[in-house]
Chain A
Amino acid sequence: GQQLNQSPQSMFIQEGEDVSMNCTSSSIFNTWLWYKQDPGEGPVLLIALYKAGELTSNGRLTAQFGTTRKDSFLNISASIPSDVGIYFCAGHSFGNEKLTFGTGTRLTIIP
């Protein structure tokens, strides 16, 4: 089946730093989604991307749908304490009802 490699697995940064993470797939996706999960909660949708090359922002978050359709990137600018959590990418391909999820990037802010 389809596999998503998400990196890095974890990040330790200081408040105010910018953050970059990415996902790569073994096959083409038609939709890329980025989620954030807080402890004890379900994942919350941050950004959805529907077109190769698309660049979409949600506040300090910016995500891009890679031109090869096999990768996606998420950037967070000027991190703040509430950015702490686990970020998941997910991909969807036409003709398939299922979403494939990456294994997550755990973001920690060092005081």
Chain B
Amino acid sequence: NAGVTQTPKFQVLKTGQSMTLQCAQDMNHEYMSWYRQDPGMGLRLIHYSVGAGITDQGEVPNGYNVSRSTTEDFPLRLLSAAPSQTSVYFCASRAGTKGSGQYFGPGTRLTVT
């Protein structure tokens, strides 16, 4: 199994541009989520999904959209990039059992100029 994969690894955007961060998992996990990690602030939840067709907002959802058309994929869309969205983005997945440990992808480092 590849686990959780993310692309791209690095990305530079200009303010106002849009883009999609890709996330895929091959473990048949029901639950997937997106976090952003900023220095000194730990991991903050952006959006999450408990299964295909179901998504919900996390702690910091503004400026981001998600969709979950398949179990495997959970892309994160930046609608109009802002410098405040400069961060490292992690996708994670876990089995349906609540409380089970999440598995994280390698991250996407995004810079918005």
Contact = CB atoms under 8 A, between A and B. Distances in A.
* Size category of the binding interface on chain A: 20 to 34
SS of A interface (majority): loop
A40 to B, nearest CB: 8
Interface residues of B, number: 27
A34 B106 CA distance: 17
A66 B87 CA distance: 33
A30 B99 contact: yes
B35 to A, nearest CB: 8
Interface centre among B50, B58, B98 (most CB of A within 10 A): B98
Nearest to A6: B42
A42 B105 contact: yes
6 contacts: A40-B107, A42-B4, A42-B105, A43-B43, A45-B103, A98-B59
A93 B100 CA distance: 11
Interface of A: 1, 6, 30-31, 33, 35, 40-45, 48, 50, 88, 92, 94, 97-99, 101-104
B102 A98 contact: no
Contacts of A97: 31, 48, 50, 56, 98
